[in-house]
Amino acid sequence: MDLASAHGRLSPVTSDFIARPHRLLIDGKWVEPSSGKRFPVLDPATGQQIASVAEGNATDIDLAVAAARRAFEAGPWSRLKPTERGKLVWKLGDVLEAHSEELAELESLDNGKPITDARAVDLPFGCELLRYMGGWSTKICGQQIPISAPGEWHAYSIREPVGVVGQIIPWNFPLLMAVWKIAPALAAGCTIVLKPAEQTPLSALRLGELILEAGFPPGVVNIVTGDHVPGAALAAHPDVDKVAFTGSTEVGKLIVQAAAGNLKKVSLELGGKSPAIVFPDADLSVAIPGAANGIFFNMGQCCTAGSRLFVHEKVFDRMMTGLADEATKLKIGPGLDPETRIGPLVSEEQLNRVTGFLASGREQGAEVVTGGKRHGNAGYFVEPTILTRTTPEMKVVREEIFGPVVCAIRYGDDDLDRIAKQGNATEYGLAASIWTRDIGVAHKLARKLRAGSVWINVHNFNDVALPFGGYKQSGWGREMGYEAIELYTETKAVAALL
């Protein structure tokens, strides 16, 4: 198979990486999986195989966890001074930046996302996140605590790394999710077993090479590729102290059950069905491209996608015309083409899932404003789609589609409680956006929305310093900001009677 001719754009460095055997990273070495098996990795723009990758299983997870345990208990990692740990995490950010172009290319090839987005979002965010979290290493403090019991006391708290952590990540932002997970864990002093998604393992494997190049000691980061089998083994492992998962709510619930065996700590970033709420006074020149980006960015494969668009009846028609214009302007094509704005979905399974939702929407009476079907017949492309005349009972309104499909819902109400009730009418609670010029209304509504992130006149906004996570069935815990450090530390209270 000639990948370069398939896209005409692969750099030699990416071609070389793809041609290498893709093994497991355990204890600082690249090793064959104990099963001897490999699984294919497909290019979502063509459906053709681009690589084969080691298929890890429970035995490999045992080996990786043992290596992480050694690095945590006895290895140099637990003895490193905070400055040294922080410098290394920061350095990984620099190494990532130096390899940004190559990683953007690999990410676009493996996941299908537009290379323009990988360059503008995934890579810069990943580099900044490593540097931000590296900065926390020297600032993880406990407190001196006043005691009221009789006697003289010296009491204080210490924050200690939680230990060996298992991290299971999805395919929508493969490299960014890997960095998102490892950066705070490393900064806190934990050691890691990372399980990338089976659809998109390549950038995490390249990240593994860069981790070794940056000088992380053996066993600090271990990477086991494979499907749900190594994932489930990691979540259930008795010697793992914490599991962090990003993916579907359904699997999130399985992770909780698996973690119950040794009551390991659990943090979860799960699905969403986020509302974007447009008021009649909104600046439509901002709201139209903003709502389009809110749903079509990354082909809607974002847990925070603005997939329920509530628009006041006074501006509904203008909003629909503008949004349809935006949708039809987006160039559909392979991610590696710099002109592409809509790449393929990640897999045939996702293609079938999203087109299945489109069929169900039509059957249940939704009207297609634009898009509505698969694009072409090679690769996994779906047209950016706007549905109207939806009702709250429809599957397309209730369930996470995870594709470029928005349900536009007309409302005529001016009562903030009723508007919030509509926005909150979902089992999820990850994000919401409010579009208005009335900042008082925006802040009042922000308080009424049951979501971990509320954005005003913007959607899909994340920052390394802003806590991110879900209410309700969108997850447990907050990543980003100092709250991410808290996820990877335990608090110890020390009390001395003097």
Sequence-distant (6+) residues with CB within 8 A of 279 are 312, 434, 435, 436, 438, 441
Q: Which is nearer to ligand NAD, 46 or 225 (CB)?
A: 225
To ligand NAD, the closest distance from the beta carbon of 128 in angstroms equals: 19
**Residue 434, beta-bridge partner list:** 277, 456
Q: Name the active-site residue from 105, 269, 326, 383.
A: 269
Report the nearest approach of ligand NAD to the CB of residue 63 (Å).
18
- Beta carbon nearer to ligand NAD, 159 or 181: 181
List % helix, strand, coil for the chain (3-state, nearest 5): 40, 20, 35
Q: Is residue 302 annotated as a catalytic residue, yes or no?
A: no
75 vs 470 by CB, closer to ligand NAD: 470
If the CB atoms of residues 9 and 38 are measured against ligand NAD, the closer one turns out to be 38
Residues 223-242 that bind ligand NAD (CB under 6 A): 227-228, 231-232, 235
Write the binding mask 159 to 188 for ligand NAD: x where contact by CB under 6 A, - elsewhere. Answer: ---------xxxxx----------------
Q: Which of 319, 294, 297 is nearest to 433 (CA)?
A: 294
Only one of the segments 29-37, 247-255, 328-336, 480-488 lies at the binding site for ligand NAD (rule: CB under 6 A); that segment is 247-255
Cβ-defined contacts of 388-396 (< 8 Å, 24+): 388/320, 389/365, 390/361, 390/366, 391/364, 391/365, 392/425, 393/364, 394/360, 394/361, 394/364, 394/365, 394/366, 395/357, 395/360, 395/361, 395/364, 396/357, 396/358, 396/360, 396/361, 396/364, 396/366
- Whole-number minimum distance, CB 447 to ligand NAD, in Å? 25
Nearer to ligand NAD, 270 or 434 (CB): 270
138 vs 248 by CB, closer to ligand NAD: 248
Residue 330 engages ligand NAD in binding (rule: CB under 6 A): no
Residue closer to ligand NAD by CB (options 398, 444) is 398
270 binds ligand NAD (CB under 6 A): yes
Q: Does 433 bind ligand NAD (CB under 6 A)?
A: no
Please say which residue, 127 or 405, places its beta carbon nearer to ligand NAD: 405
- How far is Cα 63 from Cα 339, in angstroms, rounded to an integer? 44
Map the footprint of ligand NAD across residues 334-363, applying CB under 6 A: 353
CB-closest chain residue to ligand NAD = 231
- Subset of residues 34 to 63 that bind ligand NAD, contact rule: CB under 6 A: none
DSSP state of 412: -
Contact call for residue 248 and ligand NAD (CB under 6 A)? yes
Minimum CB distance to ligand NAD, residue 329 (Å): 26
Considering only 153-161, 195-203, 214-222, 460-468, which stretch makes contact with ligand NAD by CB under 6 A? 195-203
Q: Does 131 bind ligand NAD (CB under 6 A)?
A: no
What does DSSP assign to residue 137? G
Stretch that binds ligand NAD, among 105-113, 266-274, 439-447, 487-495 (CB under 6 A): 266-274
The per-residue DSSP string of 241-261 comes to: SEEEEES-HHHHHHHHHHHTT
Q: CA-CA distance, 182 to 381, in Å (whole number)? A: 31
Separation between Cα atoms, residue 209 and residue 217, nearest integer Å: 12
Could you tell me which stretch among 1-9, 152-160, 263-271, 335-343 binds ligand NAD (CB under 6 A)? 263-271
Query: Measured between alpha carbons, how far is 480 from 487 in angstroms, rounded to an integer?
Result: 10
| Interatomic CA distance for residues 64 and 129, integer angstroms | 25
Contact 488, 164 (CB under 8 A): no
Q: How far apart are CA 195 and CA 192, in angstroms?
A: 10
The site for ligand NAD, by CB under 6 A, has a size of 26
Spatial separation of the C-alpha atoms in residues 402 and 433, rounded to whole Å: 18
CB-count burial class (<10 Å; 0-12, 13-18, 19+) for 395: middle
**Rounded distance, CA 202 to CA 188, Å?**
26
Rounded CA-CA distance 397/307 in Å is 8
Distance between CA atoms of 276 and 310, rounded to whole angstroms? 6
Q: Does 24 bind ligand NAD (CB under 6 A)?
A: no
CB of residue 296 to ligand NAD, shortest distance in Å: 16
Is 399 an active-site residue?
no
CA distance 125 to 267: 21
194 makes contact with ligand NAD (CB under 6 A): no
Active-site option among 127, 190, 302, 303: 303
Nearest to 358 by CA among 403, 322, 418: 403
198 binds ligand NAD (CB under 6 A): yes
Please say which residue, 80 or 256, places its beta carbon nearer to ligand NAD.
256
Nearest approach, Cβ of residue 60 and ligand NAD (Å) = 14
Residue 491's CB is within 10 A of a number of other CB atoms, namely: 11
Active site residues: 269, 303
Q: By the criterion CB under 6 A, which residues form the site for ligand NAD?
A: 168-172, 195, 197-198, 227-228, 231-232, 235, 246-248, 251, 254-255, 269-271, 303, 353, 400, 402
